[in-house]
Amino acid sequence: MKENRIYNFNPGPAALPLPVLEEIQAGFLNFAGSGMSVTEISHRSKWFDEVAEDAIARCKRLLKLDDNYQVLFLQGGASMQFCMIPMNLLPDGKSADYVNTGTWSAKAIKEVGILGKKCSVVASSEDKNFSYIPKNIPFNADAAYVHITSNNTIKGTQWAQFPDTGDVPLISDMSSDIMSRPFDVRPFGLIYAGAQKNIGPAGVCMVIIRKDMLERVPASLPTMLKYTTHADKNSMFNTPPCFAVYTLQLVLKWLEETVGGLDKMAAINRKKAEIIYGLLDSSDFYRGTAEKDSRSEMNVTFRLPDEELEKVFIQDSADAGFGGLKGHRSVGGCRASVYNATGTDAVEALVAFMKEFEKKKG
Ligand SMILES: *Cc1c(COP(=O)(O)O)cnc(C)c1O
């Protein structure tokens, strides 16, 4: 841990790799020899063009995307995608399948109704407080797409394998686990991720869209809400969030060059998860809230014996230099978000703290 910095378990905006922050700091007043900060240059300058192109190239290499996929940098957060997806990709007269695995899925589903379009919620884990990922889902073969949330940031669950939807394109909100592990992109028509959990700061949402999906975009939509507007202009139709894209580029560079790619990242994330779930499983004091086969490697949600102890735990952990361990306000309890930038050292330190806390209070 670096002096004056805490062990950061924030759910989002969340920890960024220290080398990335240091590189931003070092180049802040004179970016790439431009004599300006990256926040002061034109988005149409050669300097920014290189940043955006490099970010796209790295994203394509990391996820092994072929030329059928286009990477876009949009604004409005992941939440804007909840409405843009049905507006652009759900034709009138068709229906889409949605799987409801918690808060963010539910918000995506709600937008379909607001637009007066049709969807079926083909599976839900609401019956058990969203503590698991549904299995054996009866997808509709004629659905326009299937929407899932790959990692449920609030409930602490994650799809271990993606469902087989046949010829129906998958769409996933990957805000809280994109770039945490490799996966086969080919079944996906669209992937989106607000950057502020795992790949950058707030202000940019990365959208990866397969080119055939662009053919569905209706001409009647407002310009800024059409994927084709942004795809045709390579995310430069209007001013992109330059600083956020720049930071995202550095995070992807760190992933490729320092970590060594997504297989390596996944192994590190698996180990981190094992350390912390190992403690939960061996303790009668801490109790994980997600079912074992649905546990998230990114957001570890757990409870203590009572809410009073949880309050003390959150306070004492903060005093000891661990930030962000409070559960989402809608569910309570505790949550350790262990995104890519939160290292094994932080997880080991947290587990040592938790054992000590249990000894004192258990
Ligand atoms: C945080 C989060 C969102 C919301 O992202 P915004 O960028 O704030 O709109 C959506 N989906 C998931 C899975 C999230 O974790």
Per-residue pLDDT reduced to its tens digit, 96-126:
999 999 999 999 999 999 999 999 999 999 9
Residue 1: is its pLDDT beyond 80?
no
- Ligand 1 pocket test: pick from 152, 173, 205 the residue with the most ligand atoms within 8 Å of its Cβ: 173
Residue 140: is its pLDDT beyond 80?
yes
Give which of 357, 207, 206, 339 is closest to 279, Cα–Cα. 357
Task: For ligand 1, atom 8, name the residue with the nearest CA.
Answer: 77
**Torsion angles phi and psi, residue 174, rounded to 5:** -110, 30
Which residues are tagged catalytic? 104, 173, 197
Average pLDDT in the 236-258 region?
A: 98
Cα–Cα distance, 217 to 237 (Å, whole number): 17
Of ligand 1's listed atoms, the one at least distance from the Cα of 149 is 13
Confidence of residue 197 (pLDDT cuts 50, 70, 90): very high
CB of 12 sitting under 6 A from ligand 1: yes
Taking residue 161's Cβ as centre, other Cβ atoms within 10 Å add up to 8
Give which of 170, 148, 145, 146 is closest to 158, Cα–Cα. 148
Per-residue pLDDT tens over the stretch 27-67: 999 999 999 999 999 999 999 999 999 999 999 999 999 99
**What whole-number percentage of the chain has pLDDT above 70?**
100
Instruction: Report which DSSP code applies to 257.
Output: I
Instruction: Give the Å distance between the CA of 261 and the centre of ligand 1.
Output: 24
**Strand, helix or coil at 319?**
helix
CB of 77 sitting under 6 A from ligand 1: yes
Instruction: Give the Å distance between the CA of 312 and the centre of ligand 1.
Output: 28
Confidence of residue 181 (pLDDT cuts 50, 70, 90): very high
Task: For ligand 1, atom 10, name the residue with the nearest CA.
Answer: 78
Instruction: For the full predicted model, state whether its pTM sits above 0.95.
Output: yes
Give which of 101, 121, 103 is closest to 112, Cα–Cα. 121
Q: What is the pLDDT of residue 2?
A: 73
Task: For ligand 1, atom 14, name the residue with the nearest CA.
Answer: 175
Please report which residue ranges of 165-306 form alpha helices under DSSP H.
211-214, 227-232, 242-253, 262-282
Please report which residue ranges of the chain form alpha helices under DSSP H.
18-26, 46-63, 77-89, 103-114, 211-214, 227-232, 242-253, 262-282, 307-319, 344-361
**Strand, helix or coil at 170?**
strand
Taking residue 201's Cβ as centre, other Cβ atoms within 10 Å add up to 19
Domains, the chain, with CATH or none: 21-259 (3.40.640.10), 261-361 (3.90.1150.10)
Torsion of CA 105, 313, 309, 301, to 10 degrees: 20
Instruction: Give the Å distance between the CA of 302 and the centre of ligand 1.
Output: 21
Average pLDDT in the 66-89 region?
A: 98
Residues 109/100, Cβ–Cβ less than 8 Å: yes
Please report which residue ranges of 296-339 form alpha helices under DSSP H.
307-319
- Ligand 1 pocket test: pick from 85, 100, 147, 175 the residue with the most ligand atoms within 8 Å of its Cβ: 175
Instruction: Give the Å distance between the CA of 153 and the centre of ligand 1.
Output: 8
Task: For ligand 1, atom 12, name the residue with the nearest CA.
Answer: 175
Per-residue pLDDT tens over the stretch 304-326: 999 999 999 999 999 999 999 99
Average pLDDT in the 154-167 region?
A: 97
CB of 8 sitting under 6 A from ligand 1: no
Q: What is the pLDDT of residue 3?
A: 80
Instruction: Give the Å distance between the CA of 29 and the centre of ligand 1.
Output: 31
Of ligand 1's listed atoms, the one at least distance from the Cα of 205 is 7
